[in-house]
A and B are shown apart, each in its own frame.
Chain A
Amino acid sequence: MSDADGVQDAGYDEWLEAAEEGDTYYLECANGHGSLTPRRVCPDCGSLELERVDMPETGEIQTFNVTHVPTPSFEEDAPYATAIADFGPVRVTGQVVGVDPAAVETGLAVELEITVSETTGKRILGFRPV
């Protein structure tokens, strides 16, 4: 469900913009737990001390799929691979770009790349094999 045109999701859109600039970060609490924005409380320990920390540049695919039946927002994009990649302190879900979906595999090294949906033109979080 989309918001009215131009309305941002505080924290999330800001994160995407930073990632587009190659300035990706995650949140780290006083006890070293990593998490994604927007967040005011560490979900692991309840700490309120959350700081922005640079995200590691490369991650590793931990699991993946190849989606043939998408939601309407990705109708033109299918088939595409989505994956969960491990960036150390945080794991992230994204769409794998720049590679044939059939070539995606567990253990593949990737970097974050903000791409756009062919269907809606909206930004999506992507992974590009390195």
Chain B
Amino acid sequence: MSDVRVAGTGLTPFGNSPERTGRDLFAEASIAAFEDSTVPRDDVEAVLYGNFMGELSEHQGHQGPLMAEAAGVQAPATRYESACASSGTAVREAVKRIRNGENDVLLVGGAERMTNLGTAGATEALAIAADDLWEVRAGVTFPGAYALMAQAYFDEFGGEREDLAHIAVKNHENALTNDKAQYQRAIDVSDVLEAPPVSEPLGLYDACPISDGASALVLTSEDYADDHDLDAPVAITGTGQGGDRMALHDRDHLARSPAAREAGVEAYDDASVDASDVDFAEVHDCFTIAEVLALEALDIEPIGEGISAARTGRTTANGDTPINLSGGLKAKGHPVGATGASQIAEVTKLLAGTHPNSEYVSDATTGVAHNAGGTVASATVHVLEVTDQ
């Protein structure tokens, strides 16, 4: 089984650019990924592309071939859709193909155009990641569903809004050096607590922004990387995916993410690591409470204790296990279909020492990326490690 190398990564700035089409965003990200990898476009055997709301935001289905074209690649292309875990799922499929010998070079990534929909339109588009009949028609929004989980968490394990606020503060702090981040602006706890409510107990600063952006990765087999003398010291060594019932009310737990746990266990086993080996992680913090649930699902924090991790400094840049050194979805932004592959890009750069925040994880050998879809009815987890080359 071949090791899977991250040969190149590319990101557009994440942010507010309503006029930019998905194809323009993905073209920019893929150009950067090819430049970073030195892999020629002609060697790409397939394009695996994540996107969630393209039909609603751009009236565009069948985006796979469109995006291959935008990237200048002549190869079969498929779109992967798993809500906010769309490109995490695409990465997982790419890893499996390279491992089983089917392909040596793949272009993987994702893009989302969202801000052109406006807040109301984007809220409506995001809501369709929930169960339309039994959740959306009862008035549940995407923030609303996470608010249901936050309240359930407070009731079951304790904690308060101020604990969550420290997560937002931490992730904004981490984004200050990330020139691709939507918010490169520090905030404090009172900013979070005093922000307008979106869906109580969550307020505006508990939520990630609505973002436009794209991500791209050139993934290769170990043999290809060696044969072509690529500078690709980071490998994806573990992959996992978990699933759960669609509607929150049908889950066994309202304040836990079993799908993420399943994905994490599978990815750790696959890479032959456990949570104690994880030096840092990029986790899916679409809302502050989501970071808490992710840390507990990944065994980085015990169940019921993740709520205090940011407040006590365990997950800050100087803490034991820095979380979301990129700024996370919260401050870096969350162009839905781009997010999963962008997390892989951030972890790769942090491990390779080429990230502005690499100094905080200078001895790190193992990083994890956690990407969740909907209210975590879908989840992918990837383990990345530094290889000896």
Number of interface residues of B (CB under 8 A): 38
Inter-chain CA distance A93–B248, complex, in Å, is: 8
Inter-chain CA distance A124–B133, complex, in Å, is: 10
Name B123's contact: one of A1, A71, A93 (CB within 8 Å).
A71
**Chain A residues whose C-beta falls within 8 Å of the C-beta of B143 in the assembled complex:** 67, 69
Known: A62-B152, A66-B197, A67-B199. A95 touches B250 (CB 8 A): no
**Chain A residues whose C-beta falls within 8 Å of the C-beta of B124 in the assembled complex:** 71-73
Contact at A84–B120, with CB atoms within 8 Å?
Answer: no
**Chain B residues whose C-beta falls within 8 Å of the C-beta of A126 in the assembled complex:** 138
Contact at A43–B245, with CB atoms within 8 Å?
Answer: yes
Q: Is A125 an interface residue (CB 8 A)?
A: yes
Q: Is A77 an interface residue (CB 8 A)?
A: yes
Inter-chain CA distance A108–B247, complex, in Å, is: 21
Q: Is A25 an interface residue (CB 8 A)?
A: no
Binary per-residue interface labels of chain B (195-210) against chain A in the complex, 1 for a CB within 8 Å, 0 otherwise:
0111111100000000
Contact at B134–A84, with CB atoms within 8 Å?
Answer: no
Q: Is A88 an interface residue (CB 8 A)?
A: no
**Chain A residues whose C-beta falls within 8 Å of the C-beta of B123 in the assembled complex:** 69-72
Inter-chain CA distance A62–B199, complex, in Å, is: 17
**Chain B residues whose C-beta falls within 8 Å of the C-beta of A64 in the assembled complex:** 148, 151
Inter-chain CA distance A126–B139, complex, in Å, is: 10
**Chain A residues whose C-beta falls within 8 Å of the C-beta of B196 in the assembled complex:** 68
Q: Is B100 an interface residue (CB 8 A)?
A: no
**Chain B residues whose C-beta falls within 8 Å of the C-beta of A109 in the assembled complex:** none
Binary per-residue interface labels of chain A (52-92) against chain B in the complex, 1 for a CB within 8 Å, 0 otherwise:
00000000001111111111111101011011100000011
Inter-chain CA distance A91–B250, complex, in Å, is: 7
Contact at A93–B247, with CB atoms within 8 Å?
Answer: yes
Contact at A84–B119, with CB atoms within 8 Å?
Answer: no
**Chain A residues whose C-beta falls within 8 Å of the C-beta of B151 in the assembled complex:** 63-65, 106
Inter-chain CA distance A35–B249, complex, in Å, is: 10
Known: A84-B249, A91-B249, A106-B155. A67 touches B147 (CB 8 A): yes
Chain A, 89-108, CB within 8 A of any chain B CB: 91-95, 106
Q: Is A19 an interface residue (CB 8 A)?
A: no
Contact at B200–A66, with CB atoms within 8 Å?
Answer: yes
**Chain A residues whose C-beta falls within 8 Å of the C-beta of B233 in the assembled complex:** none
Inter-chain CA distance A70–B197, complex, in Å, is: 12
Inter-chain CA distance A103–B222, complex, in Å, is: 59
Contact at B139–A70, with CB atoms within 8 Å?
Answer: yes
Which residue of chain A has its CB nearest to the CB of B204?
A69
Q: Is A5 an interface residue (CB 8 A)?
A: no
Inter-chain CA distance A66–B200, complex, in Å, is: 5
Q: Is A9 an interface residue (CB 8 A)?
A: yes
Q: Is B211 an interface residue (CB 8 A)?
A: no
Chain A, 108-130, CB within 8 A of any chain B CB: 117, 122, 124-126
Instruction: Tell me the smallest distance from the CB of B2 to a CB of chain A, in Å.
Output: 37
- Residue with the highest number of chain B CB atoms closer than 10 Å, among A63, A67, A80, A82: A63
**Chain B residues whose C-beta falls within 8 Å of the C-beta of A63 in the assembled complex:** 148-149, 151-152, 155, 254
Contact at B200–A62, with CB atoms within 8 Å?
Answer: no
Inter-chain CA distance A30–B202, complex, in Å, is: 41
Contact at B138–A62, with CB atoms within 8 Å?
Answer: no
Inter-chain CA distance A66–B121, complex, in Å, is: 20
Q: Is B144 an interface residue (CB 8 A)?
A: yes
**Chain A residues whose C-beta falls within 8 Å of the C-beta of B138 in the assembled complex:** 82, 93-95, 124-126
Name A124's contact: one of B119, B137, B248, B250 (CB within 8 Å).
B137
Contact at B144–A67, with CB atoms within 8 Å?
Answer: yes
- Residue with the highest number of chain A CB atoms closer than 10 Å, among B121, B198, B202, B250: B250
Q: Is B381 an interface residue (CB 8 A)?
A: no
Contact at B148–A82, with CB atoms within 8 Å?
Answer: yes
Contact at B134–A69, with CB atoms within 8 Å?
Answer: no
Which residue of chain A has its CB nearest to the CB of B150?
A65
**Chain A residues whose C-beta falls within 8 Å of the C-beta of B249 in the assembled complex:** 84, 91-93
Q: Is B187 an interface residue (CB 8 A)?
A: no
Contact at A124–B139, with CB atoms within 8 Å?
Answer: yes
Binary per-residue interface labels of chain A (13-43) against chain B in the complex, 1 for a CB within 8 Å, 0 otherwise:
0000000000000000000000110000001
Inter-chain CA distance A43–B377, complex, in Å, is: 14
Write 8 A-B pairs (CB below 8 A) sorted by A numbering: A64-B148, A65-B144, A65-B202, A66-B200, A68-B198, A71-B124, A92-B249, A93-B140
